[in-house]
Structure 1
């Protein structure tokens, strides 16, 4: 007789919370498959097709037989292209050896946190934050420490609040500008002060700049300009070049940290997809026209959804970047989880509750969708509000 398996998962896994974005998206997809007319505003994914020249580069790579393993840290051509991009667009100087290519930006962040954190090390994270940041920190053995911002300030970060949150266990400051879910873009003055604070208190900085090209009313500046020796810059191809499914991320920073991240990747996934890497060379090298067109479309969508939501009485700050809004749903329900449920079940619109973003009383909507769908969402929300 076979003995039943007694499966005990690790404490790390038992403590790990699933991404609320993924949970909501999965439920929305299940409803759509069941024939329910759902409009999803949950996923942070551009609705544009990957640019033709990027697809052509992938096809050329396949035709040339570039389908084998690559170096763990990425093909030299892509690392060289990324280093050139960082110099050209961000004013940052890195050798290709100080650049590593990963399977999406998440892996770059994971590799960095596992390379840097010992049990109990604290990581300061401005909130509201992307749902994965605290989970990643905890999974790596660290302790996430939220540094709150407010909607009244446009979710701008107060350097004095960061200073007050520092303890003897603080090791890292994680930044995300432009931010998900807030759309906040930190100005040069704030970044200079944070860089000086990191120098003063011997902190390391991880800056996630995945949305750097989706900025409307501000200048996107890399904090690594002011503290290059203690900053890891993380980015990727997903948002700027509409390449979410290609899974190409990258990081650039101090060589010793990059080498440690490469060692971790060498024992986990090894190299990122070889064909996607060759596609990313084309994307990083020549996509200015595509970026300008998509940014103009996102700006138009942002302006419409912000105006529409506020007109409905759902207070919504105007984001400076990315393609999300954080909306106060008190007129629907004071609890954001219940509000999100009502919006899905009654208005047939999928949104993400702000709970896991540390944004109580709010939901996140992604406006990476057409103006027609945005108008339909506003109409559905009006019907829901009129029924309250």
Structure 2
């Protein structure tokens, strides 16, 4: 079946192709470092060929991936991919067939819906409870399972609300996967940016059916490397995903993998996460005060990650977002319609000073008092 574009990417393509905004309220990744930050740790004689390297990815990087996830698994449990998005793609293509069902969360990462439609599978949404801070009820997930269910796909923290699945509930979901023999795929791209609750364990360590996906894109701001991974204890899943990847992005991104390995070295990772947490927490405090002061906005502050959803009163989120793109505002934020929530907007704490978020919030405030 034809792969359709999801609303989030469609909106980005439409609104950023020309006349770029001046301010951004909703960057989803930490401030990006510069290449010069890594040059002292890179060998100038480094060969950029992948011949003679493991097709699963650089062993040193795969070990760093396991270390940051606090998992004691064999190196061959990790496949390096072109970001978490490719890892998810490979798993959907490999593990789900036409007629199968995928249980997922709503709101959630739209890739699941795109892939379900392309494969001819059925997507079964389990609604997160906004009144309870976007809580996901494990029992509601259990009730959604049928004999046709093949996979449960979740994000932790949730993209786009920032709500965490705590360890006890994650273990309940892992037990559910064990009981029914279902793949439990959890995208953890924001792991490491928790604002209060501790980081939950990676699901690959909780059940043989658990598969963790992640990347250096969000928490470390290294989106341009296109370097991510999947972690799975089943060697056939890893091998089949590697073979499928050979027919897409092919073998490996040698330079990206070397830089990612440097970024995930323990001392360097701790320093980068500390900076991202400090900047993110400061901006989240700013967003918290802003939402509290605006009578037309309300939200549940994210427990982790850099984005959250704010409910808007009196105007749909997409009308507001599109109005903000035009003069005199020239400010970007993502409408909640990208996640099937027309009365919300996505606001975020990423991007650093280049996002000009203070100016953007002033312009958003002006729009809220003028539009609708």
TM-score (norm 2): 0.91
**d(CA) in 1 for partners of 2:192, 2:14:** 28
Give SS of 1:63's match.
coil
**What is the deviation of 1:19?**
4.8
Higher RCO structure (Cα 8 Å, ≥6 apart) = 2
Structure 2 residue 56 is matched with structure 1 residue 77: no
**d(CA) in 2 for partners of 1:226, 1:265:** 24
Task: Tell me what 1:44 maps to.
Answer: 28
**d(CA) in 1 for partners of 2:202, 2:273:** 22
4+ runs deviating over 6 angstroms: none
- Aligned pair count? 364
Give SS of 1:74's match.
coil
Q: For the Cα contact (< 8 Å) 2:24–2:356, is it kept in 1?
A: no
Structure 2, gaps ≥5 residues long: none
The correspondence for 1:230, drawn from 204, 209, 219, is 209
**What is the deviation of 1:29?**
5.2
Task: Tell me what 1:94 maps to.
Answer: 73
**d(CA) in 2 for partners of 1:228, 1:377:** 44
Task: Tell me what 2:135 maps to.
Answer: 156
**d(CA) in 1 for partners of 2:115, 2:55:** 22
Structure 2 residue 254 is matched with structure 1 residue 274: yes
**What is the deviation of 1:252?**
0.8
The correspondence for 2:344, drawn from 362, 365, 372, is 362
State the Cα RMSD in Å: 2.2
Segment of structure 1 superposing worse, 20-29 or 160-169: 20-29
The correspondence for 1:329, drawn from 298, 312, 317, is 312
Give SS of 1:291's match.
helix
**Superimposed CA distance per residue, residues 134-174 of structure 1 (whole angstroms, 9 cap, x where no aligned partner):** 11233233222111012221111111211121111111111
Structure 1, gaps ≥5 residues long: 1-10
Task: Tell me what 2:334 maps to.
Answer: 352
**What is the deviation of 1:83?**
2.8
**d(CA) in 1 for partners of 2:76, 2:275:** 33
Task: Tell me what 1:12 maps to.
Answer: 2
Q: For the Cα contact (< 8 Å) 2:7–2:337, is it kept in 1?
A: no
> In the superposition, relative to structure 1, how do residues 263 and 328 fare at CA in structure 2: closer, same or farther (>3 Å)?
same
Give SS of 1:175's match.
strand
The correspondence for 1:246, drawn from 204, 225, 242, is 225
**What is the deviation of 1:197?**
1.6
Task: Tell me what 2:83 maps to.
Answer: 104
Q: For the Cα contact (< 8 Å) 2:204–2:211, is it kept in 1?
A: no
Task: Tell me what 1:301 maps to.
Answer: 283
**What is the deviation of 1:386?**
2.2
Task: Tell me what 1:64 maps to.
Answer: 46
Q: For the Cα contact (< 8 Å) 2:60–2:261, is it kept in 1?
A: yes
Q: How do 1:119-138 and structure 2 match up within 5 A?
A: 119-138=98-117
Q: For the Cα contact (< 8 Å) 1:39–1:349, is it kept in 2?
A: yes
Q: How do 1:23-38 and structure 2 match up within 5 A?
A: 23-24=11-12, 27-28=15-16, 30-32=18-20, 38=22
**What is the deviation of 1:364?**
0.8
Structure 2 residue 263 is matched with structure 1 residue 289: no
**d(CA) in 2 for partners of 1:102, 1:259:** 13
Q: For the Cα contact (< 8 Å) 2:298–2:310, is it kept in 1?
A: yes
Give SS of 2:299's match.
coil
**What is the deviation of 1:177?**
0.8
**What is the deviation of 1:22?**
5.7
**What is the deviation of 1:272?**
2.7
Task: Tell me what 1:3 maps to.
Answer: none
